[in-house]
C-alpha cells in the first residue's frame, strides 16, 4: 500500500488551507487498478483548484486580449494618433516584465503564499482597465500596456506553482494542459468579443474597456474568493512529518507541556541553490538555445501575409486561429507529455515550429498553407508552454518551485525577445523567405541536440528499472517517489 492511501490523522493546527492543498494533491493519487489495460482511462479528475485557476486566467485573458485587439484602432481612429509612437514604447517595455517573473516566484516561495502574489498580479492588470476608463491620453494608454505586462509577469510563476502543488505528480502535464486550454480560450474569445462590441456600437471603445474591466474584476474575484490560500511548502512539510513528535508538537492534543513549536513554517526554507541542480541547468540551457531560435509569431504572419491574399484578409485573426489550435491541443499535449515524457514533448514540439517556419518561408502560397502554419504554431505552443511549467514544477521541490518556474519562463521570454530583435536584422539583410528558412534549418539542427541533452530527464527513478508499461515514472529528483 502506498503512503498516500494510508488514512491520515488531522491535527487541529493543520489549517484548512494546508489540508486542501494536500487533498487536492493526493485525492487522485490512488494507484490505477492493476488490471486496468484501458490506456485512455482518466487517472482521476483534474483538481478543482486547477480548473478555478484556469477560469481566472480565461477571464483575465478575455479582458486583456479584448483591449489589446482594439488598442491600435482606438489610438488611430479615436485618439487620432499614430501608432508608430506607441510601438516604440512598446519595444522598451517587453524586457522588464519577464524578469518580474523571477522576483514574483521568489516572493511566492519565500512567503509561501503564492495566491497573494498571484492576486497582486491579476489585480494590477484589472486596474489598467480602470485607467483606460479614466484617461484618454497616449501616456495613459502606454501606462496601461506597461502595467498589464508587469501584472502578467508577476502572476505567472506563483500561479503555475499553485497548479503544480494541486496536481498529482503523475498527471501534472494534463493539469497544465487544462489550465492552458482555458487560458487560451480567453485569448481567442477576447478579440472576438471586442469586435462584436465595436460592430454593435461603432466607436464604442469605452464599452470594450468597461466590459473588459468587468470581466477582469470577476477574474480577480474568482481567484480571491474561490481559490484556497495554498501553502505548498507547509503542506509538503506536514506531508513529510506525519507524527506529532516529528512536527515538534506535544505528544497529545491539548498538552501544554513540552511544546517546542510548530516547525511547519520553518525548514526547509527557500534557497537559490535549486539553480545548481544539473537537471534544471540543462533545462534552462536548452530553453535558452531553443528560445533563441524562436522568432515572434508576427514575423510568420507577415511572411504569410506577403504572399497569400487569404492571410491578408484575415490578418487580424491569424493569432486567433493559432490560439484555437493551441486551446484544442493543450490537454492532449499535456497527457502525451505525462505518458511519453515531458522533456521529450517539450523538445520535439519545436519540430512543429520548424514546420510553421517552412510554411512561412515556402514559395508556395495558398489558404491551406496558411491554415497549416497556424495549426503548427498551435501545436508548438501546446507542447511547450504548459509542458515547460509541468517539467520544472515536477523537477523542483516545493520550497523553490515558483522561483524555478519563473526563472525558466523568464529565460524563454528573454531569449525569444533577443531572437526577434536579431531576426529583424536577418529579415532585412537576406530577405523574408531566406531569413525564415535559415532559422528553420538552425532550429531543425538544434532539436535533436536538445533532445540528447535532456535524454535523462524523462528516465525512470534512480532505481534504474525500465519504465513500467502505461504508467509514467517519477523523475529522479522527485522526492516523493513513493511507488516502488
Partner 1 sequence: MKRRNLTAFAALVVVVLVASGAYTWRAVVRSHAEQKKPTQVEQADLATLSRQPRIVFRSTATGNLYGRVAEVALDDPAGPRAFTGVTCDRIDAQAAQAACLRTKPGVVTTWEAELLDADWKVTSSWALPGVPSRTRLSPDGTLVGTTAFVTGHSYASTNFSTVTEIHGTDGTDYGNIEDYRLIEDGHTIRPVDRNMWGVTFADDNTFYATTQSKSMGHTWLVKGDLARRTLTVVVDHVECPSLSPDGTRIAFKRNVGEGGATHWTPAVLDLATGTITILSAEKRSVDDQIAWLDSATLMYGVPRDGQTGVSDVWQMPAAGRSSPEVLIKEAWSPSVVKP
Q: Using CB under 8 A, which residues numbered 197 to 216 contact partner 1?
A: 197-204, 206-207, 210-211, 213-215
Determine, following the binding rule CB under 8 A, whether residue 73 of this chain makes contact with partner 1: yes
What is d(CA 445, CA 452) in angstroms, rounded to the nearest whole number? 12
Determine, following the binding rule CB under 8 A, whether residue 467 of this chain makes contact with partner 1: no
Q: Which of 480, 386, 455, 462 is nearest to 170 (CA)?
A: 480
Total site size for partner 1, rule CB under 8 A: 76
Query: Is there a contact between 283 and 408 (Cβ–Cβ < 8 Å)?
Result: yes
Q: What is the CA radius of gyration of the chain?
A: 23
- Residues 12-31 binding partner 1 (CB under 8 A) are 16
What is d(CA 22, CA 18) in angstroms, rounded to the nearest whole number? 6
Cα torsion angle, 149, 293, 388, 317, sign? positive
User: In angstroms, what is the minimal distance from the CB of 148 to partner 1?
Assistant: 9
User: In angstroms, what is the minimal distance from the CB of 89 to partner 1?
Assistant: 9
Of the listed pieces 306-314, 328-336, 465-473, 474-482, which binds partner 1 according to CB under 8 A? 306-314
Q: Which of 134, 225, 257, 267 forms a contact with partner 1 (CB under 8 A)?
A: 225
Q: What letters, b where the CB count within 10 A reaches 16 and e where it falls short, cover 248-279?
A: ebeeeeeeeeeeeebebeeeeebeeebeebeb
User: In angstroms, what is the minimal distance from the CB of 188 to partner 1?
Assistant: 12
Give the residue with the Cβ less far from partner 1, 203 or 266: 203
Is residue 103 reached through a cis peptide bond, with omega within 30 degrees of 0 on the bond before it? Answer: no
- Residues 43-72 binding partner 1 (CB under 8 A) are 64-65, 68, 71-72
- Residues 355-394 binding partner 1 (CB under 8 A) are 381
- Residues 312-351 binding partner 1 (CB under 8 A) are 312-319, 322
What is d(CA 60, CA 342) in angstroms, rounded to the nearest whole number? 27
Query: Is there a contact between 357 and 333 (Cβ–Cβ < 8 Å)?
Result: no
Contacting residues for 193 by C-beta, under 8 A, at least 6 apart: 62, 66, 211
Determine, following the binding rule CB under 8 A, whether residue 226 of this chain makes contact with partner 1: yes
Q: What are phi and psi of 281, to 5 degrees?
A: -60, -40
- Residues 140-169 binding partner 1 (CB under 8 A) are 145, 152
What is d(CA 307, CA 324) in angstroms, rounded to the nearest whole number? 23
What is d(CA 157, CA 154) in angstroms, rounded to the nearest whole number? 7
Give the residue with the Cβ less far from partner 1, 189 or 336: 189
Determine, following the binding rule CB under 8 A, whether residue 34 of this chain makes contact with partner 1: no
Query: Is there a contact between 409 and 285 (Cβ–Cβ < 8 Å)?
Result: no
Determine, following the binding rule CB under 8 A, whether residue 116 of this chain makes contact with partner 1: no
What x-and-dash track marks residues 412-441 binding partner 1 by CB under 8 A? --------xx--xx--xx-xx---------
The conformation of residue 9, written as its DSSP 8-state character, comes to P
Q: Which of 407, 356, 357 is nearest to 378 (CA)?
A: 356
Give the residue with the Cβ less far from partner 1, 10 or 278: 10
Contacting residues for 180 by C-beta, under 8 A, at least 6 apart: 326, 327, 330, 334, 382, 385, 386
Q: Which of 196, 263, 445, 449 forms a contact with partner 1 (CB under 8 A)?
A: 196
Determine, following the binding rule CB under 8 A, whether residue 5 of this chain makes contact with partner 1: no
DSSP letters along 131-156, please?
A: HHHH--SHHHHHHHHHHHHHHHHHHH
Q: Which of 268, 298, 465, 470 forms a contact with partner 1 (CB under 8 A)?
A: 298
User: In angstroms, what is the minimal distance from the CB of 460 to partner 1?
Assistant: 34
Q: Which of 2, 36, 41, 76 forms a contact with partner 1 (CB under 8 A)?
A: 76
Give the residue with the Cβ less far from partner 1, 171 or 187: 187
Cα torsion angle, 421, 426, 428, 431, sign? negative
What is d(CA 222, CA 57) in angstroms, rounded to the nearest whole number? 10
Give the residue with the Cβ less far from partner 1, 271 or 313: 313
Of the listed pieces 195-203, 279-287, 346-354, 457-465, which binds partner 1 according to CB under 8 A? 195-203
Of the listed pieces 106-114, 278-286, 295-303, 437-445, which binds partner 1 according to CB under 8 A? 295-303
User: In angstroms, what is the minimal distance from the CB of 297 to partner 1?
Assistant: 5
User: In angstroms, what is the minimal distance from the CB of 73 to partner 1?
Assistant: 6
What is d(CA 78, CA 70) in angstroms, rounded to the nearest whole number? 11
- Residues 231-290 binding partner 1 (CB under 8 A) are none
Determine, following the binding rule CB under 8 A, whether residue 299 of this chain makes contact with partner 1: yes
What is d(CA 367, CA 1) in angstroms, rounded to the nearest whole number? 56
Of the listed pieces 31-39, 190-198, 363-371, 435-443, which binds partner 1 according to CB under 8 A? 190-198
User: In angstroms, what is the minimal distance from the CB of 174 to partner 1?
Assistant: 22
Give the residue with the Cβ less far from partner 1, 122 or 213: 213
Give the residue with the Cβ less far from partner 1, 87 or 470: 87
Give the residue with the Cβ less far from partner 1, 272 or 428: 428
Determine, following the binding rule CB under 8 A, whether residue 100 of this chain makes contact with partner 1: no
User: In angstroms, what is the minimal distance from the CB of 383 to partner 1?
Assistant: 14
Amino acid at each position: 500500500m502506498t503512503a498516500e492511501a494510508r488514512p491520515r490523522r488531522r491535527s487541529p493546527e493543520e489549517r484548512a488551507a494546508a489540508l486542501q492543498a494536500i487533498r487536492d494533491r493526493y485525492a487522485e493519487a490512488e494507484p490505477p487498478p492493476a488490471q486496468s489495460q484501458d490506456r485512455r482511462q482518466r487517472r482521476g479528475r483534474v483538481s478543482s483548484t486547477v480548473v478555478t485557476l484556469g477560469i481566472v486566467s480565461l477571464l483575465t485573458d478575455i479582458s486583456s486580449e479584448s483591449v489589446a485587439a482594439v488598442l491600435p484602432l482606438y489610438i488611430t481612429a479615436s485618439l487620432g494618433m499614430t501608432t508608430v509612437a506607441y510601438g516604440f514604447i512598446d519595444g522598451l517595455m517587453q524586457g522588464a516584465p519577464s524578469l518580474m517573473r523571477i522576483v514574483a516566484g521568489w516572493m511566492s516561495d519565500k512567503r509561501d503564499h503564492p495566491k497573494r502574489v498571484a492576486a497582486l498580479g491579476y489585480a494590477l492588470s484589472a486596474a489598467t482597465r480602470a485607467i483606460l476608463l479614466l484617461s484618454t491620453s497616449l501616456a495613459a494608454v502606454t501606462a496601461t500596456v506597461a502595467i498589464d505586462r508587469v501584472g502578467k509577469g508577476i502572476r505567472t510563476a506563483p500561479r503555475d506553482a499553485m497548479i503544480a502543488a494541486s496536481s498529482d505528480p503523475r498527471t501534472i502535464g494534463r493539469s497544465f494542459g487544462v489550465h492552458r486550454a482555458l487560458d487560451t480560450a480567453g485569448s481567442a474569445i477576447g478579440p472576438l468579443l471586442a469586435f462584436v462590441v465595436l460592430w454593435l456600437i461603432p466607436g464604442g471603445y469605452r464599452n470594450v474597456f468597461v466590459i473588459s474591466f468587468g470581466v477582469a474584476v470577476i477574474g480577480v474575484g474568482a481567484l480571491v474568493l474561490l481559490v484556497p490560500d495554498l501553502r505548498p511548502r507547509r503542506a509538503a512539510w506536514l506531508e513529510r512529518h506525519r507524527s506529532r513528535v516529528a512536527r515538534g508538537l506535544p505528544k497529545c492534543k491539548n498538552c501544554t507541556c513540552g511544546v517546542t513549536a510548530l516547525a511547519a513554517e520553518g525548514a526547509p526554507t527557500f534557497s537559490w541553490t535549486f539553480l545548481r541542480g544539473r537537471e534544471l541547468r540543462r533545462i534552462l540551457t536548452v530553453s535558452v538555445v531553443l528560445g533563441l531560435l524562436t522568432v515572434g509569431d508576427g514575423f510568420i504572419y507577415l511572411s504569410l501575409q506577403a504572399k497569400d491574399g487569404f492571410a491578408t484578409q484575415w490578418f487580424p485573426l491569424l493569432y486567433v486561429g493559432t490560439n484555437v489550435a493551441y486551446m484544442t491541443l493543450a490537454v492532449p499535449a499535456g497527457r502525451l507529455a505525462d505518458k511519453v515524457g515531458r522533456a521529450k514533448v517539450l523538445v520535439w514540439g519545436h519540430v512543429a515550429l520548424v514546420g510553421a517556419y517552412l510554411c512561412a518561408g515556402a514559395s508556395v502560397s495558398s489558404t491551406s498553407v496558411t491554415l497549416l502554419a497556424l495549426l503548427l504554431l498551435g501545436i508548438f505552443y501546446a507542447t511547450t508552454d504548459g509542458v515547460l511549467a509541468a517539467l520544472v514544477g515536477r523537477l523542483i521541490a516545493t520550497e523553490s518551485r515558483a522561483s524555478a518556474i519563473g526563472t525558466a519562463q523568464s529565460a524563454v521570454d528573454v531569449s525569444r525577445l533577443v531572437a526577434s530583435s536579431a531576426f529583424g536584422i536577418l529579415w532585412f539583410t537576406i530577405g523574408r523567405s531566406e531569413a525564415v528558412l535559415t532559422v528553420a534549418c538552425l532550429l531543425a539542427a538544434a532539436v535533436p541536440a536538445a533532445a540528447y541533452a535532456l535524454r535523462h530527464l524523462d528516465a525512470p527513478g534512480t532505481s534504474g528499472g525500465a519504465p513500467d508499461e502505461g504508467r509514467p515514472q517519477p523523475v529522479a529528483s522527485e522526492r516523493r517517489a513513493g511507488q516502488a
